[in-house]
Amino acid sequence: MSFTLTGTRYIGTGALPTPVLGYDLVATDTGNFYVSNSTATAWILVGNVNSPNLGMLPLTGGTMTGNVAGATGWAPNDSPNFTTTAKLNGLPLATTSDLANTSTNILNTIAPKISEAVAATTSSITVKGSIAKTSGILFCADSSHPVTIPLPTYPDGTTANESDCTWWVGLAGTQTAGQSNTTWWPIGETATSFHTSLIFSVNPTTSRTFAAYLITSSGNQYGVALCYGIIGVKS
């Protein structure tokens, strides 16, 4: 088979003839309709004569059986511009304005919660950072060797002021460091030789430096072990 020229139209099948300016061509085996380009160097496929509108999508719309591709028009590769609301599966697509408003609403909702959480955490950190505390044992040998309750240290490494602190002292035992024997402290004894008293040089709850010791009726002094606790709060 070959093409037959009828007027300015080629009709037939097989290899396409040489293009002629102003001529067109119908391939009867495929139904494809061609026209010559303006330089008569190639046949340009216009459509198919066996399909309505030559197979092209009419202005009133139609069914697409393939992907829409292109760099311009209503479906460009970049930055499509829809004149009405674009939808996906029947639901409107969010616009930049919608996203901005939603973002603002979310921030307005969670910002107070974040502020409350930060404030609560900061308050907790501030409170913990303002408390210094320590405890331990002090050994006082006699009236000539007073002891001092050490000042506690805040979490930031600074030493608390005495004016910030409250402390207390208690008798932990009557055996001093390095002492192998135990000094007895009888209670309710009437014998003079057993009289023993616990002596404080000053009130240890108001002065951090003091002497505490046992003294017998004969004047002998014995050291004691003292437990203490001290807490400082920044003013």
Could you tell me the mean pLDDT of each successive run of 10 residues in the chain, 235 residues long? 91 95 96 96 96 87 73 62 77 83 82 72 63 92 92 92 92 60 51 68 91 83 89 88
Please give the DSSP secondary-structure letter assigned to residue 94: P
**Please, are residues 230 and 165 in contact by the beta-carbon 8 Å criterion?**
yes
Q: CA–CA distance from 233 to each of 38, 120, 127, 153 (Å)? A: 95, 19, 9, 10
In the β-sheet with 32-36, what is the strand arrangement from edge to edge? 3-6, 9-12, 24-27, 32-36, 43-48
Which conformational region is residue 3 in: left (phi greater than 0), alpha (psi within -120 to 50 degrees), or beta? beta
Q: Which helix (H) or strand (E) holds 147?
A: strand 147-148
Please tell me the predicted confidence (pLDDT) of residue 177: 47
Q: What is the pLDDT of residue 176?
A: 47
> Contact at 8 Å (CB) between 21 and 8?
no
Q: How far apart are CA 181 and CA 183, in angstroms?
A: 7
171, β-bridge pairs: 226
Residue 18 in 3-state DSSP?
A: coil
Residue 205 has a CB neighbour count (10 Å cut-off) of: 12
